[in-house]
């Protein structure tokens, strides 16, 4: 049992922040950043959905950033007042948190796709914070951070940009799926993470998720597929199973994603 006396509660979210480990950033400031992120997730997914796994989840400092299976710990590798980095890491790990089955024993072979979606959520949150904090920052003197989030967002797109032509990207991605099913972090022989599928994350967000309010509901249907079942599916079958769980409006989201891989889906 974890002693929660060493943690601050973040509002009524069920999330607890480790005290006195965030460098020269005050605990209250870090909580304000994470609270803003949780509010955006709650607006998109619903607060009950985010909290459905456990009564509480703790947020620690450690390396590397990760969400522990079992959904009771999220680990961040950042300190000081680098709010963009907190936003990037927490939103990525928070997506893993809400997408996991509470009884999962091992990752799905489609973890690479979940990683791509988690990275897309970092785009989502940093984009949203650039607008949210311009209107209502946690503290009045933090309004100028909205521009910092926007600059960080543009930098992320530049970092994830690929040299592969858009017409060749789908073939490249599809041909690499068997590799990523075995090596979901796309590491080379010395353990360096290449993560070439991250080039799809900004395309996913800007072309599909950014302007479609049904995107987030469709992802809830994806999360219903158990890892035990998905591990028996090809990626094409995985998308088709997701597609069949969605209503007509939500299916448009899945169809657009399938098209990026040059895959067709049947009802």
HEC-encoded secondary structure of the chain = CCCHHHEEECCCCCEEEECCCCCCCCHHHHHHHHHHHHHHHHHHHCHHHHCCCCCCEEEEECCCCEECCCCCEEEECCCCCCHHHHHHHHHHHHHHHHHCCCCCCCCCCCHHHHHHHHHHHHHHHHHHHHHHHHHCCCCHHHCCHHHHHHHHHHHHHHHHCCCCCHHHHHHHHHHHHHHHHHCCCCECCCCCECCHHHHHHHHHHHHHHCCCCCHHHHHHHHHCCCHHHHCCCCHHHHHHHHHHHCCHHHHHHHHHHHHHCCCCCCC
105 in any annotated domain: no
In the chain, how many domains are there? Answer: 2
pTM: 0.92
Domain boundary among 50, 70, 99: 99
Asked if 245 and 117 sit in the same domain, the reply is yes
Asked if 71 and 141 sit in the same domain, the reply is no
What is the span of the domain harbouring residue 52?
4-99
Asked if 93 and 8 sit in the same domain, the reply is yes
Asked if 127 and 255 sit in the same domain, the reply is yes
104 in any annotated domain: no
Asked if 190 and 65 sit in the same domain, the reply is no
Residue 53 is predicted with a pLDDT of: 64
Residue 245 is predicted with a pLDDT of: 95
Asked if 84 and 188 sit in the same domain, the reply is no
Q: Which range has the worst mean pLDDT, 20-24, 128-132, 166-170, 185-189?
A: 185-189
Residue 239 has pLDDT above 90, yes or no: yes
Asked if 72 and 46 sit in the same domain, the reply is yes
Residue 134 is predicted with a pLDDT of: 96
């Amino acid at each position: 049992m974890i002693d929660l006396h060493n943690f601050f509660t973040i509002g009524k979210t069920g999330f607890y922040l480790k005290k006195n480990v965030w460098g020269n950033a005050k605990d209250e400031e870090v909580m304000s950043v994470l609270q803003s992120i949780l509010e955006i997730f709650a607006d998109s997914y619903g607060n009950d959905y985010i909290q459905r796994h456990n009564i509480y989840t703790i947020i620690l400092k450690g390396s590397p950033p990760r969400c522990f299976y079992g959904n009771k710990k999220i680990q961040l590798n950042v300190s000081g007042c680098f709010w963009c980095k907190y936003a990037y890491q927490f939103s990525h790990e928070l997506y893993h948190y809400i997408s996991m089955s509470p009884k999962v024993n091992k990752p799905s072979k489609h973890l690479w796709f979940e990683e791509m979606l988690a990275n897309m959520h970092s785009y989502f949150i940093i984009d949203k914070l650039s607008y949210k904090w311009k209107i209502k920052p946690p503290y009045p003197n933090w309004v100028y951070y909205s521009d910092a989030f926007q600059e960080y967002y543009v930098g992320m797109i530049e970092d994830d940009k690929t040299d592969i032509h858009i017409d060749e990207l789908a073939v490249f991605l599809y041909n690499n799926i068997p590799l990523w099913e075995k090596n979901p972090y796309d590491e080379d022989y010395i353990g360096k993470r290449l993560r070439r599928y991250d080039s799809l994350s900004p395309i996913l967000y800007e072309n599909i998720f950014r302007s479609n309010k049904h995107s987030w509901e469709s992802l809830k249907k994806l999360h219903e597929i158990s890892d035990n079942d998905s591990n028996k599916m090809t990626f094409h079958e995985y998308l088709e199973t997701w597609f069949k769980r969605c209503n007509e409006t939500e299916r448009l989201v899945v169809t657009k994603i399938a098209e990026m891989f040059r895959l067709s889906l049947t009802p």
